[in-house]
Amino acid sequence: MNESLFEASEELKRLEHTIYVTLKYTRTVDVIKNALKKLISVFDLIIHALLKDAQEKKLLTEIPKSPSLKSTLVLQTYPQDKNLLKFITFYAFLRDTLNAKQQAKKEEYRRHVTLIAHLKNKTAQIDIDNLGTCEKIARQFFDYAYGLIEGKKEEDD
């Protein structure tokens, strides 16, 4: 397995623990931000794995250091892939949400703790339920990238 994919799978496990255990008991916006950082880290690792694979297949000569350049390069390398476009767009949304200048908290220390990020044209509200959905999307991206790089994924135990 590609080293970046392995790291991404390990980061997915840590993300699940953050969402389903830590956030369940702590219920703070800081934990939501930490989960968003882990989500972005998973996407970064998967994108790097895709670029590394493209480099090994001689589709690329070098891999840039900047995350935004990496995501753009993935879209340029696989221009016909609509699934990758969907995942990269979601990744950009996560980055924008975490880096938003105006952020607010709602119902901290309660079940419906929410991070509110004011983006350019919209407002994003990230809560426990949304993070669960985000984690599922990250897992779908991992499975999709694994299929592109390694072939069909074999089922675990």
Q: What mean pLDDT is reported for the chain?
A: 92
The strands making up 114-118's β-sheet, listed across from edge to edge, are 102-106, 114-118, 123-127
What predicted TM-score, i.e. pTM, was given to this entire model? 0.92
> In the chain, what percentage of residues exceed pLDDT 90?
86
For residue 123, which amino acid is it?
T
pLDDT tens digits along 83-129: 999 999 999 999 999 999 999 999 998 889 999 999 988 999 999 99
pLDDT tens digits along 118-157: 998 899 999 999 999 999 999 999 999 999 998 775 554 3
Strand partners, 45: none
Q: Is 26 exposed, middle or buried (0-12, 13-18, 19+ CB in 10 A)?
A: middle
Q: Do residues 87 and 137 touch, judged by C-beta distance below 8 A? A: yes
pLDDT tens digits along 11-47: 999 999 999 999 989 999 999 999 999 999 999 999 9
